């Protein structure tokens, strides 16, 4: 099968979150299983450093807008791990410092940027190879199915090409003024209540949900949650209507990149049978954060996150005074909303020697935290899938999570009597329940035999891409059958 992946980011070229990890790993696994795989990406400034030479696949594609044209050069990124990459070079739209905005904001022309991206995907495949299926991701590529079923409805080459849309986060929808429909040269009839119209705005994600042949999201629990008023972000009604076409497939992780037996970014390697290396990694991460020492009986807690309300840091702020009465060391890495960046800095100032914070994106330090921490915190208000908790399991770093989305799907509560489980969960989303889960973790940490059993349980879990790729292949085949 020839599969095209349309997404706004992909490791190693450009990344802001888990979407990039998925689009980096899933196509590679599909290629490993023998399929022809192509990934199309914008030619961001970040991508340029990965290109040793400029090879042109298509010199120019004309993308019409309502009163002007733009011109896109398609660059050949070569084949990496069996996956063919192409990049869309339109400097006035993509040659910028950030992927979506600068200094925490959004670029004002994002609708035009990703409208052009979506249409260029369709035009490029006509010249570079029409696939059996296009797999689009999130709102940035949601106009691909919209355009296929409207602008290209009568195109004999494309009318039978099916499109699957994966929703990575229903809270990010791509909302723009209705004038964007005309500017992108879309048919007026796509802007209706049964199309992109959403409370007086054009909603790209809603359009993708309606026009895609099949839908998926990134965990079974999240597939249920986004059909509720609480977590549907206003799209629950649309998703309920398409519930028969919506599948939750848990993301896999890349164990070539995240594995304490082989990780080149950590101080020492270790396995479930030989854990000495984890103690070395613990000392290393404390040193990296400028912590002089911590007793072996003091648990090291780690956080690696985008700093936002979604991630549950309002709960952390509420329990912080009580948390600081416990014997612990907290190390934090991340960037995000200015309020939460300031909040973490204030924690570090108020509790010097107990809390160490680095406001930055640092992949090497992220690996050091996963390997060196004893406990990993993910109190997210909602979490479509989450990858950090899965990395933590592999590194013997015990997760404490809110029981939502993929966190609930991947973490099993520790049962001391049966010696089963992989971490600690809390529900409902309240400070007292978060603190109670932490106290259960602290109590277990003092029992070294129990803690080692808990670590081994987590490290034995397999969340590689092999099984999810098989589920996606079955979904692809069903999608093709529906169109044929």
Which pLDDT value is given to residue 104? 67
Dihedral of CA 369/371/377/381: which sign? positive
pLDDT interval class at 264 (50, 70, 90): very high
Q: Which domains does the chain have, with CATH numbers?
A: 2-252+465-483 (3.40.50.2000), 276-459 (3.40.50.2000)
- Residues facing residue 407 across a β-bridge: none
- Of 122, 138, 219, 141, the closest CA to residue 171 belongs to 138
Q: Is the pTM of this model over 0.75?
A: yes
pLDDT interval class at 17 (50, 70, 90): confident
Tell me: the pLDDT tens digits for 293-307? 789 999 999 999 999
CA-CA distance, 279 to 374, in Å (whole number)?
10
Find tokens 């396995």 and name the residue.
Answer: 271
- Of 260, 285, 293, the closest CA to residue 396 belongs to 260
The backbone torsions φ and ψ at residue 83, rounded to the nearest 5 degrees and listed phi first, read -110, 130
Per DSSP bridges, beta strands 424-426 and 36-42 are unpaired
- Of 214, 209, 135, 137, the closest CA to residue 481 belongs to 214
Give CA 66 to chain center in angstroms: 33
pLDDT interval class at 16 (50, 70, 90): confident
CA-CA distance, 374 to 391, in Å (whole number)?
13
pLDDT at 78 over 90: yes
- Of 24, 46, 114, the closest CA to residue 361 belongs to 46
User: Would you give the DSSP letter of residue 44?
Assistant: -
The two structure tokens encoding residue 213: 């042949």
CA-CA distance, 364 to 149, in Å (whole number)?
43
- What 3-state DSSP class applies to 29? helix
Helices and strands (H, E) in the chain, number of each type: 18, 18
Render 281-315 in DSSP notation, one character per residue: HHHHHHHHTT-----TTSPEEEEEEEESGGGTHHH
């Amino acid at each position: 099968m020839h599969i095209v992946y349309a997404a706004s980011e992909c490791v190693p070229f450009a990344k802001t979150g888990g979407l990039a990890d998925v689009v980096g790993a899933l196509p590679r696994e599909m290629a490993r299983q023998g399929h022809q795989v192509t990934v199309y990406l914008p030619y961001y400034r970040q991508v340029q450093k990965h290109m040793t030479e400029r090879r042109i696949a298509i010199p120019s594609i004309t993308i019409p807008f309502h009163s002007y044209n733009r011109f896109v050069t398609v660059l050949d990124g070569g084949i990496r791990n069996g996956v063919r990459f192409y990049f869309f070079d339109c400097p006035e739209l993509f040659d910028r410092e950030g992927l979506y905005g600068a200094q925490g904001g959004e670029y004002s022309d994002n609708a035009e940027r990703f409208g052009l991206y979506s249409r260029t995907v369709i035009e490029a495949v006509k010249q570079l190879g029409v696939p059996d299926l296009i797999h689009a991701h999130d709102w940035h590529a949601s106009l691909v199915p919209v355009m296929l079923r409207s602008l290209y409805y009568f195109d004999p080459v494309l009318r039978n090409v099916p499109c699957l849309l994966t929703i990575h986060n229903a809270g990010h929808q791509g909302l723009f003024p209705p004038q964007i429909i005309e500017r992108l040269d879309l048919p007026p009839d796509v802007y209706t209540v049964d199309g992109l119209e959403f409370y007086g705005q054009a909603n790209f994600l809603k359009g993708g949900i309606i026009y895609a042949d099949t839908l998926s999201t990134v965990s079974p629990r999240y597939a249920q949650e986004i059909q509720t008023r609480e977590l549907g972000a206003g799209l629950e009604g649309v998703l309920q209507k398409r519930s028969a076409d919506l599948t939750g497939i848990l993301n896999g992780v890349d164990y070539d990149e995240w594995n304490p037996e082989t990780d080149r970014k950590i101080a020492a390697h270790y396995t479930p049978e030989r854990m000495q290396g984890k103690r070395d990694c613990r000392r290393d991460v404390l040193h990296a954060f400028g912590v002089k020492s911590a007793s072996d009986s003091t648990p090291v807690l780690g956080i690696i996150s985008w700093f936002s309300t979604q991630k549950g840091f309002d709960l952390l702020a509420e329990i912080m005074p009580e948390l600081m009465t416990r014997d612990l060391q907290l190390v934090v890495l991340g960037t995000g909303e200015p309020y939460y960046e300031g909040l973490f800095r204030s924690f570090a100032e108020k509790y010097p020697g107990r809390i160490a914070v680095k406001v930055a994106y640092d992949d090497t330090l992220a690996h050091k935290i996963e390997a060196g921490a004893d406990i990993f915190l993910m109190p997210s208000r909602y979490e479509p899938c989450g990858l950090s908790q899965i990395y933590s399991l592999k590194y013997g770093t015990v997760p404490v999570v809110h029981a939502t989305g993929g966190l609930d799907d991947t973490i099993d509560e520790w049962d001391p009597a049966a010696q089963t489980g992989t971490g600690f969960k809390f529900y409902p989303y309240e400070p007292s329940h978060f603190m109670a889960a932490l106290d259960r973790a602290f109590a277990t940490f003092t029992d070294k035999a129990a803690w080692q059993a808990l670590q081994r349980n987590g490290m034995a879990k397999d969340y590689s891409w092999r099984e999810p790729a098989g589920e996606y292949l079955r979904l692809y085949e069903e999608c093709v059958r529906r169109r044929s």
